[in-house]
Amino acid sequence: MKNIFSAIKLTTLCLIFFSAIYPLAITVIAQFAPGKGRGETVELNGKIVGFQKIGQTFNNENYFWGRPSAAGYNAASGSGSNKGPSNPDYLKDVQVRVDTFLLRHPYLSKQEIPTEMVTASGSGLDPHISPQAALVQVKRVAQARNIPETRLIRLIEQHTEKPLLSLFGPSKVNVLELNIALDQASPQPSPKEREQ
């Protein structure tokens, strides 16, 4: 019996230490971190338009697109497709994505489509694409916005994040930040104004 009471008391103390003191201490320290531990937001014209690390749906002609998402970029419930590599339905989906991408980028050949643009990300919220995947979209965005391609290419170069210390991991482009920079460079009517 003594054993059980000791166990109860030890459990209570551990609960206070590991589930209250520890997370509260980290919460306090988080106040000094960027975004104060609430997630870093990004703004356009003083309005919050998203979280830096969370991808968004982009399918308009005048934006760079992110990756396909099995969750439709629902950041309240992210998910991957969980489709197996040999699943015939899945392979049909990929084929449809390839065809759609070619239709919207008629100047491309199949071999030029980067794989991440036709495969769904793990989280369904992937904020990045490879620089190559941004470059293949330049012509479309340039036509839609009526700005020179060279300017877009420079914008992509500015927003390309190098591998860690230029040594480790892949290079990438944050699609949301690229599109915000795009809106700043060539302002577009907001969706509401366009409807009017």
Partner 1 sequence: MNTEILGIVVMFFMTVVLAVPLGKYIAKIYAGEQTFLDPIFNPIEHFFFKISGIDPSEEMNWKQHLYALLTINLLWFFLCFFILMNQGWLPLNPDKNPSMSPDLAFNTTISFLVNCDLQSYSGETGISYLGQIAGLMFFMFVSAGTGMAACAMVFNAMKERQTEQLGNFYNYFLKSCTRVLFPISFIAAIVLIFNGVPMTWEGKAHHTSLQGTSMDVSRGPAAAFIAIKQCATNGGGFFGTNSAHPLENPTYLTNAVECILIFLIPIAMVFALGHYLSRKKLAWMVLGVMTIGFIILVVPAVVQEMKGNSAITSMGIDQTRGSMEGKETRIGSAASGFWTIVTTVTSNGSANCMLDSLTPLTGGLAMLGMMINSLYGGVGVGFLNFYVFIILAVFISGLMVGRTPEFLGKKVEAREVKIAAIVAILHPLMILTGTALASYFTAHDTAMGYWFNGKASGWLGNPGYHGFSEMLYQFTSSAANNGSGFAGLSANNPFWNISTGIIMIFTRYIPIIGPLAIAGLLAQKKYIPESSGTLQTDTSIFGTMVFVVILIIAALSFFPALALGPFAEYFTLIS
Span 133-192, contacts to partner 1 by CB under 8 A = 163-164, 166-172, 176, 179-180, 183, 190-192
Bridge partners (DSSP) listed for residue 168? 164
Question: Is the distance from CB of 163 to CB of 170 less than 8 angstroms?
Answer: yes
Closest contact distance (angstroms) between CB of 149 and partner 1 is 21
Question: Is the distance from CB of 164 to CB of 153 less than 8 angstroms?
Answer: no
> By CB under 8 A, is residue 103 in contact with partner 1?
no
What element of type H or E holds 158? Answer: helix 149-158
Cα 96 from Cα 105, distance rounded (Å): 14
Nearest CB to partner 1, comparing residues 22 and 150: 22
Stretch that binds partner 1, among 32-40, 141-149, 151-159 (CB under 8 A): 32-40
Nearest CB to partner 1, comparing residues 150 and 158: 158
Cα 17 from Cα 160, distance rounded (Å): 43
Nearest CB to partner 1, comparing residues 11 and 150: 11
Of residues 82-101, those binding partner 1 (CB under 8 A): 82-88, 90-91, 94-95, 98
Cα 77 from Cα 58, distance rounded (Å): 18
Bridge partners (DSSP) listed for residue 129? 173
Stretch that binds partner 1, among 114-122, 143-151, 152-160 (CB under 8 A): 114-122
Stretch that binds partner 1, among 41-49, 139-147, 148-156 (CB under 8 A): 41-49
Closest contact distance (angstroms) between CB of 36 and partner 1 is 8
Cα 186 from Cα 100, distance rounded (Å): 26
